């Protein structure tokens, strides 16, 4: 009797009318036109790409049904769902540290998710020692710094290749209370061995002349903090991964959403990933790294009577205003207002009964961030909203960001936002938000070979290499360099 497979099929897809397209030519998948890689960006004055994104209909409800085993095609050791910074770096780590073959599947292309909107801060300034994420962050930053050094050793410039800059970070206070908090932070991080100092408004006159604060303000300065350019970094990682394609160890399946996991009935091992166009057999593992879509995707993919799944990952919308070729002044460092720390964890506090709400998570919160990127663009942010999967630009949010940044960098008030927008772009991205503030990294309970890596909210670029190493070690059954227990799903998302 033919083996029966539990196959998850798409419920209704108005684009395909239930008819699956033929498998993509792998070579074609590697030769995507380069303009597709900027899918998630919106150039002002042009057709809003965000509109195109909002019409994507591949995150539709999925349905579980029994059917006979799909025809075998495309066997890989590991199939990764999601080619944002998390999926891409997991692929990279597996390719470099093992001889496994890897298929990378994305519903669109790598920078179409949160990754394409990321500001690129690889910072310790706003992280707290002793928290579960601290060690993962430290490991991840160590790996980023080693990568930047290795690029330099190959006679390339990390600034060109990754947009990598050791600008140092300034966490800025406006009030006496905030300044006291930042002084404590400087002390705490110094005790962890980081270079840190508190700068008064006078010190800041020379360090960051455009930053204007009242006398009770100041800044915690962390000279070793870095930043990268997400688009350059993604391009570099993709190029490196593609080198393994010639030996048959790597293939990309872009514009081809995963729509199902295929596994023999009563088995805890998934044997293949069904995409809209093909079946990708996974001999060793499946990794789900679908950013803010992971929650709904998992909910639909995994329906087991004995497992109660509650993966509360939601999209947290963020806007950034990017002014290209900005000449009026230069910033020496990356800047962020001290209130960002609460801004990032706003909903955590709102849901923690003993702390009382700081912000209403549904409402807009805007916190000043400002930096100059590798191309000389001024990048201003940032906003947070829990308003679903919509990626439309909201003009009122841009105005809020502009006003808030002007309170710290008053020279900007001399400029016209309208004029600057002619030579700029707005980036909108959906951060993968999870209420307890920690990414989920680990094996999905009830399965022996399905792993999850998602929920990095505003820290996915910063935590990517540490996350990738952790997942790769799990797949390869190596001991993890950082304790993975705090990031496990069991007890947090599965009961």
Ligand X SMILES: Cc1cc2nc3c(=O)[nH]c(=O)nc-3n(C[C@H](O)[C@H](O)[C@H](O)COP(=O)(O)OP(=O)(O)OC[C@H]3O[C@@H](n4cnc5c(N)ncnc54)[C@H](O)[C@@H]3O)c2cc1C
Structural contact between residues 406 and 228, judged by C-beta atoms closer than 8 angstroms: no
Spatial distance between the Cα atoms of 148 and 226, rounded to a whole number of angstroms:
11
Please compute Rg for the chain using Cα positions: 23
Nearest to 87 by CA among 299, 246, 227, 250: 250
179 or 456: CB nearest ligand X: 456
Residue 85 or 368 with smaller CB distance to ligand X: 85
Compute the least distance from the CB of residue 458 to ligand X, in Å: 5
For the CB of residue 392, give the shortest distance to ligand X in the complex, in Å.
Answer: 14
SS3 percent helix, strand, coil of the chain, rounded to 5, is 35, 25, 40
Q: At closest approach, how far in Å is the CB of 204 from ligand X?
A: 22
User: CB–CB of 124/195 below 8 Å?
Assistant: no
The least distance separating ligand X from the CB of residue 215, rounded to whole angstroms, comes to 30
The span from the CA of 132 to the CA of 140, in Å, is 13
Q: Which residues bind ligand X (CB under 6 A)?
A: 58-59, 81-87, 105-108, 110, 112-115, 117-121, 257-258, 289-293, 297, 318, 320, 381-382, 429, 431-432, 454, 456-462
- CB of 205 vs ligand X, minimal distance in Å: 26
For the chain, the farthest-separated pair of C-alpha atoms sits apart, in whole angstroms, at 81
Helical spans, DSSP H, in 192-242: 201-207, 230-242
- Nearest-5° angle of CA 215, CA 219, CA 222? 160
Residue 118 or 168 having the CB closest to ligand X: 118
Nearer to ligand X among residue 136 and residue 179 (C-beta): 136
User: Which C-beta is closer to ligand X: that of 86 or that of 493?
Assistant: 86
- The string of DSSP codes covering 23-91 is PPPHHHHHT--GGGGGTTEEETTS--HHHHHHT---S--EEEEEEEPPPP--EEEEEEE--SHHHHHHH
What does each C-alpha distance from 238 to 5, 33, 216, 243 come to in angstroms? Answer: 33, 14, 47, 9
Smallest distance, ligand X to C-beta of residue 82, A: 3
- Cis? peptide before 382, omega within 30° of 0: yes
Residue whose CB is less far from ligand X, 179 or 285: 285
Nearer to ligand X, 179 or 263 (CB): 263
CB of 266 to ligand X, least distance (A): 25
Residue 140: CB partners within 8 Å, gap ≥ 6?
462, 463, 464, 465, 466, 467
For residues 250 and 427, the answer to whether their CB atoms sit within 8 Å is no
Q: Is residue 374 within 8 Å of residue 345, measured between CB atoms? A: no
Q: Closest separation between CB of residue 485 and ligand X, Å?
A: 21
Question: What residue spans of 168-225 are helical by DSSP H?
Answer: 176-191, 201-207
Q: How far is the CB of 318 from ligand X (least distance, A)?
A: 3
Among residues 377, 420, 414, 373, which one has the least CA distance to residue 398?
Answer: 420
Closest contact distance (angstroms) between CB of 48 and ligand X is 16
Closest to ligand X by CB, 112 or 377:
112
Query: Closer to ligand X at the Cβ: 179 or 274?
Result: 274
Q: Which is nearer to ligand X, 121 or 402 (CB)?
A: 121
């Amino acid at each position: 009797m033919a083996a029966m497979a539990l196959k998850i099929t798409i419920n209704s897809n108005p684009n395909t009318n239930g008819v699956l397209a033929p498998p993509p030519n792998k070579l074609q998948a590697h030769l995507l036109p380069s303009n597709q890689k900027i899918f998630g960006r919106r150039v002002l004055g042009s057709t809003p790409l965000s509109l195109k994104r909002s019409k994507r209909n591949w995150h539709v409800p999925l349905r579980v049904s029994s059917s006979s085993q799909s025809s075998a095609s495309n066997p890989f050791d590991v199939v990764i769902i999601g080619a944002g910074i998390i999926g891409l770096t997991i692929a990279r780590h597996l390719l470099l540290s093992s001889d496994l073959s890897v298929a990378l599947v994305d519903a669109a292309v790598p920078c179409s998710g949160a990754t394409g909107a990321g500001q690129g801060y690889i910072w310790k300034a706003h992280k707290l020692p002793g928290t579960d994420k601290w060690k993962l962050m430290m490991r991840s930053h160590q790996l980023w710094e080693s990568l930047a050094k290795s690029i330099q050793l190959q006679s390339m410039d990390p600034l060109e290749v990754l947009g990598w800059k050791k600008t140092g970070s300034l966490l800025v206070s406006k009030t006496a209370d905030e300044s006291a908090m930042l002084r404590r932070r400087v002390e705490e991080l110094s005790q962890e061995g980081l270079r840190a100092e508190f700068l008064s408004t006078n010190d800041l006159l020379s360090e960051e002349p455009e930053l204007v604060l009242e006398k009770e303000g100041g800044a915690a300065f962390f000279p070793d903090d870095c930043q990268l350019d997400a688009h350059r970094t993604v391009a570099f990682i993709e190029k490196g991964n593609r080198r393994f394609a010639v030996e048959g160890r790597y293939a990309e399946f872009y514009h081809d959403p995963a729509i199902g996991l295929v596994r023999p009935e009563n088995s805890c091992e998934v044997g293949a990933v069904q995409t809209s166009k093909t079946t990708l057999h996974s001999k060793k593992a499946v990794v789900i790294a679908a950013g803010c879509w992971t929650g709904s995707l998992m909910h639909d993919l995994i329906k087991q009577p004995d497992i109660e799944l509650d993966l509360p990952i939601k999209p947290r919308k963020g806007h950034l205003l990017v002014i290209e070729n900005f000449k009026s002044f230069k910033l020496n460092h990356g800047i962020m207002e001290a209130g960002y720390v609460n801004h990032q964890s706003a909903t955590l506090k709102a849901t923690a009964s003993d702390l009382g709400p700081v912000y209403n998570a549904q409402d807009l919160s805007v916190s000043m961030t400002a930096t100059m990127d590798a191309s000389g663009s001024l990048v201003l942010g940032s906003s947070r909203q829990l308003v679903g999967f919509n990626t439309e630009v909201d003009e009122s949010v841009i105005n809020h960001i502009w006003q808030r940044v002007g309170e710290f960098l008053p020279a900007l008030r001399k400029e016209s936002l309208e004029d600057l927008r002619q030579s700029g772009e707005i980036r909108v991205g959906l951060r993968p938000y999870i209420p307890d503030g920690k990414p989920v990294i680990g094996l999905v309970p009830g399965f022996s070979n399905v792993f999850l890596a998602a929920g990095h909210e505003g820290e996915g670029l910063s935590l990517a290499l540490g996350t990738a190493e952790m997942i790769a070690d799990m797949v390869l059954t190596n001991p993890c360099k950082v304790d993975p227990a705090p990031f496990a799903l069991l007890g947090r998302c599965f009961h």
